Structures are given as C-alpha cells and as structure tokens.
Amino acid sequence: MKKHLLTLILVCFAFLINAQNIDNQLLDETNRRADDDEIEVVVVMKDRYDRTLLNQKADAFATRAERRDFVAKELKTFTKQSQKNLVDYLENTAKINNVSSLHFANALYFSATKAVIMEIANRDDVEIIGFNKKQNLIPECRDDVHIVSTTDDTREITPNVLQVNADQVWAQGYTGAGVIVAVVDSGVNYDHADVADHLWDGGAEFPHHGYDIVNNDDDPMDDKGHGTHVAGIVCGDGTSGTQTGVAPDATLMCVKTTAADGFGGAVNIAGGMEWAVEHGCDLINLSQGMAGAGITDKEIFRRTCESILDAGIVALVCAGNEGYSILQMAYPIPNNVRVPGSCPPPYLDPDQMVNPGGLSCVVAVGAVDYNDAAAEFTSRGPVTWQDTEFGDYAYEPGIGLIRPDVCAPGVNIKSLDYQNTSGYTYYDGTSQATPCVAGIVALMLQKNPNLMPADICRILEETSLKLTPNKSNITGVGRVDALAAINAVEPDAVEENEIRRFEIYPNPSHDVLFVKTCHGASLQSKYHITNMIGQTIMSGKIASENQQIDVSSLSEGIYFIKIGKVTMKFLRKTL
C-alpha cells in the first residue's frame, strides 16, 4: 500500500514538473484516471520544416497541382525522419502499436498510460502533449423539413444560389468543371442523384470516391446528414428537380471525419484535410470545427493549415454557430469562433494590418439571411493566437484577428437529404454558408486553375457586397458575389499560353535533352535546370527551335527545367 502511494506521489510530482509540456485538458484528464488507464493523447513535435525554404522549393513548380504534390511528399518525408526516435521508443520500449502520424502538423496520436505520458514529457523533441478530446464537431443547425422530389424540367434554383449571382457565372461557361472539391464532413451520400455523376474517381483503392477517417476504411457514406447537405450546396446539379449547387459540375471528393453522432477529435479533422490534399483536391470545404479547443488542438490546426497554404490549397471553413452563447458566456470572445475557423487567412485585409500576424489556408465564413442581415447564430470574432507557440494576433490590448473574412447565405437553406437518393431538406448554419463560398472558389479555379490562396481570399473580399464600412467581426468584409469574383479573376497566362510553348524529349533522357520551341515562343529565353530540392544545376539560353542540352553530367534522378514561367519535369537515366 505504501509502495503504491509512493508511486502515485512520484507520478503526480513528475506531472507537475513537466506541466509546461502538458496541455491543461490532459492534466485534468489524468487526474480523473487510474494509473493503468490508457488515455488518448496527441503529441506535437518541436521540429518544423523551414517554411521559407519549403516555399522556395515549391515556387519552382509552374502549376499549383505540382506544388501541392511536392509539398505533401516533402512534409511526409520530413515528418517520418523527425518522429523516428519517438516512434521507436513508443513501439519498442513502451510497446504501443497504435501510433498514427499527422504529417502536416508533425504530430502523433495514440493511447498511453500516465507513466508513458510522463516519459514523453521529459523529451527535448516534444513541443506539447494534449488530450485527444472528442466533441461534437458539427455546429448545431436546424433540420426540419424533408422533401422527396421527382425529376422535372423546371430545375428550380435555390434562393441562396441566386443571391450570390452564381447562375450568371454559369452563363459565362464556368460551372466548376474539372475542379476537385473535398468536402471534409460527416461523409456524403454519394448515391444521391444530384452528385452521383460528378464524383472523384479514386480508382480501385478508393472505389467510394473518398475516405472514412473515423473507421479507417474506403467508404465515406454519410450516416449523419450534415455532409450530404453541405455537398449539395457546393455541387448539387439539380437532377432531382432543384438546383442547389453553386458549382454544379465540380468534382466531389468525400472525406468522412465524424461518427454517426457528429463527434470526433482534432486529429479527425486535421487528418481529413491532410488526406484530401495528399490525394489531389483543389480546395477544401470544412463545415466543422471545435468549440473550446485546447492549446494542443489549436496548434495542430494552425500547423496543418499553414502546411496546406504552403501546398497552394485554400480551405473554406465555417466560423461556427456559437453566436448565441456570447450572452450565456459559454464561449465568450475571443473564443467564440470554432477552430480551425479561427486560423488566419491567406491574405491580410488592410483593416487587419494594424495588428498583423502569420498566415494560413483558412478563409473563415459567417452567415447572413436572405436580406443580407447577420444570422443571430453566426459566431463572432475577434480571436487570438497569443496563448500558443505562434504568439500572434494579440487581443487586449490588440484588436486580435478579425474573423470571419466573408459571409454567405446560411438561413433556411435547401439542399440534399442523405436519407434517400432524390430528396431535399432545409438547414441553418455557417455550415451552409461555407459551401456556398467553396462553390464560388470552384468557379474561380475553373477560370484560373493556378490561382493561389492569397489571391482567392483577396478577390473574395474585394468583390463582396460590403455590409459594414470596415471588416467586421460578424460578417467580415461582406456577402460574397460570384459574378463579381469571377469577373475579377484573370485567366492564367501559363495555363492559357505559355505551357504549350515548349516541349522536352526524350523523357527519360540519357545524355541529351532536347527542348522544342513552338507556338511562337521567343528564342533567347533563359533556362534553369534544378534538382528536387530547388538547387540550380545548370542554366543557359534557348538559342534554337530544337535546343540540345547536354545532361550527361547529371546523376540519375528527377530534375526540373524552368523556361520563363514554364516548369517541366524530366528523368535523367543512364544507359
């Protein structure tokens, strides 16, 4: 008995010593648990890839898609190396075999006893350890009327789609075709007729058009209803009678991050966002988030969203429906906006520049009604990050970080019902406003596939219908306007013109690489050949229409040749 008591005292003393590495939520949880209980924890590593260097390397790629794929692979390689020693300890010494990694956040999650948690807290390579707390990730919303429709010829367009002028963009030929939108949510009823013919093709590995993070399988079928409703606002095409989607021809990628009750942890959402980027999405819609998130959860989200920004991907994220709770003091400002909706945007509005800070991929979205009045439930900013490793956007005395960025219709929104394959239902929420904006971004990316997150955010803000003189902590800069946004997007010069002006052959190359000039490209263009980490190996000028470049001095491997704005990849292979 005395020995057991002494052990308990020593464990408690060790926790106090290492409390600076342990999130308060985890400390509270350990106080409720027995010594031999296994607790779900998240460990954030100290190491981070040098973002300046990462972006220098990524900037060598001509297209956003190439950039995305490079950053995802680079971060995965870095994380595996960074976590190797800790993973070896967990698997070989602590005998834990359920270790999972988040590459974009350089974090791990698993279940461990208090003794193991204490050992980890002593490590120099650990930033913080937190409790993998489960909560309802779906902001409360109204779901009251279910309508089973039959196909007709009228194809009613829902009022929210008309309110943002999306139908006028379709008339210009932009419907989101070719743009992959990842809906990270409760899953999607991918059998619904209004999305069934434009789903992401995951091949034999992902036959159900996405992934289920919760159950770790390839079937993201919706068992809650929220995700299907959200997906319909992005790209429901009206097959069953009602045109609910802002981008009706966008390609839908389905990622399930919550259980049937809507519950999950930060690792679910962060893992779902990471999976979507690694598998080729062009943008993310996240109508989910955590209310009252702990420090560890916030740091995981911020790191993940910074990595997604570096990959060139934008995420449209709901602010939350906790506006009512301000009066109840349940989630007071600066904690009223859900995380990761509270993460910084990719572009800082001039009104924010009196208190600037870091950037991430998140465009936060609030909700208005059909009269462009702020919905009573929409969450209010500002937020702050001064209590985390990032230490920016000070609140009191600073203005904090203004949230949201923009707003969209989110009251009495009709979209797809998950309970059948042709029905509709109505929801309220910033969850419904967010996919409206995601649909607009899909239209923008069809016009310019290489539009970067900062430009997307800036254009959305500059073209929104202004509801307040300055950027507001209730409605952002104003209500989005699809027509004004698409008219502000310039077609991509590389995509439209330059990328076809040069061709390289043979590929793989042995001793000689030929560069063929075509479509009127000017001679005397400079070329640079770089390796996989962005170092220039050789350079010169394109002096003829079939330029010959001696690459015999290069080692076997993958290289890039950049001519103006055009970057092409080739393989050097010896005979």
Higher pLDDT, 152 or 463: 463
Residue 76 identity: K
| CA 69 – CA 278 distance, rounded (Å) | 7
Higher pLDDT, 496 or 344: 344
pLDDT in tens, 477-530: 999 999 999 999 998 765 444 444 678 989 889 899 999 887 555 556 778 888
Q: Which residue has the tokens 């073209």?
A: 463
The β-bridge relationship of strands 283-286 and 314-318 is parallel
Q: Note the pTM of the prediction, 2 decimals.
A: 0.85
Number of other CB atoms surrounding residue 73 within 10 Å: 13
> pLDDT-based confidence at 372, cuts 50/70/90?
very high
What's the length of the chain?
575
pLDDT over 90 (residue 362): yes
Q: Which CATH class is domain 143-492?
A: alpha beta
Output the pLDDT for position 498: 46
Output the pLDDT for position 421: 96
Maximum Cα–Cα distance for the chain, whole Å? 88
Helices (H) and strands (E) in the chain, counts: 15, 27
| CA 224 – CA 209 distance, rounded (Å) | 18
pLDDT over 50 (residue 1): no
**Average pLDDT taken over every residue of the chain:** 91
Contact 392, 377 (CB under 8 A): no
pLDDT over 80 (residue 14): no
Number of other CB atoms surrounding residue 525 within 10 Å: 17
pLDDT in tens, 257-269: 999 999 999 999 9
Output the pLDDT for position 501: 67
Domain ranges of the chain: 2-132, 143-492, 497-572
**∠ at Cα 347 (341, 349), nearest 5°?**
95
Contact 263, 40 (CB under 8 A): no
**∠ at Cα 322 (254, 230), nearest 5°?**
20
| CA 189 – CA 283 distance, rounded (Å) | 20
Output the pLDDT for position 142: 58
pLDDT in tens, 281-329: 999 999 999 999 999 999 999 999 999 999 999 999 999 999 988 766 7
Output the pLDDT for position 325: 82
Q: Report the candidate in 285, 386, 408, 374 with the shortest Cα–Cα distance to residue 335.
A: 386
Higher pLDDT, 532 or 483: 483
Q: What are the C-alpha distances in Å from 216 to residues 72, 109, 259, 481, 533?
A: 20, 14, 12, 38, 33
Higher pLDDT, 162 or 12: 162
Region 180-206: what's the mean pLDDT? 97
pLDDT in tens, 17-72: 456 689 999 999 999 999 999 999 999 999 999 999 999 999 989 899 999 999 99
pLDDT over 80 (residue 461): yes
| CA 414 – CA 425 distance, rounded (Å) | 6
Output the pLDDT for position 106: 98
Q: What are the C-alpha distances in Å from 470 to residues 349, 457, 465, 560?
A: 10, 16, 12, 45
**∠ at Cα 315 (309, 318), nearest 5°?**
140
Output the pLDDT for position 534: 64
pLDDT in tens, 73-87: 999 999 999 999 999
Region 539-563: what's the mean pLDDT? 87
Q: Which residues pair with 368 in a beta bridge?
A: 374, 409
> pLDDT-based confidence at 5, cuts 50/70/90?
very low
Q: Give 106's DSSP letter.
A: T
Region 131-152: what's the mean pLDDT? 70
pLDDT in tens, 211-232: 999 999 999 999 999 999 999 9
The sign of the dihedral angle between the CA atoms of 215, 216, 218, 224 is positive
* Alpha helices in 45-200, H assignment, sequence order: 51-58, 64-88, 114-121, 159-163, 166-170
Q: Please state the CATH superfamily assignment of the domain spanning residues 497-572 in this structure.
A: Immunoglobulins (2.60.40.10)
Q: Strand order of the sheet with strand 210-212?
A: 210-212, 251-256, 180-185, 283-286, 314-318, 362-368, 406-409, 478-479, 465-466
The β-bridge relationship of strands 135-136 and 126-131 is unpaired
Contact 440, 485 (CB under 8 A): yes
pLDDT in tens, 22-31: 999 999 999 9
pLDDT over 70 (residue 13): no
| CA 553 – CA 216 distance, rounded (Å) | 46
The β-bridge relationship of strands 242-243 and 156-157 is parallel
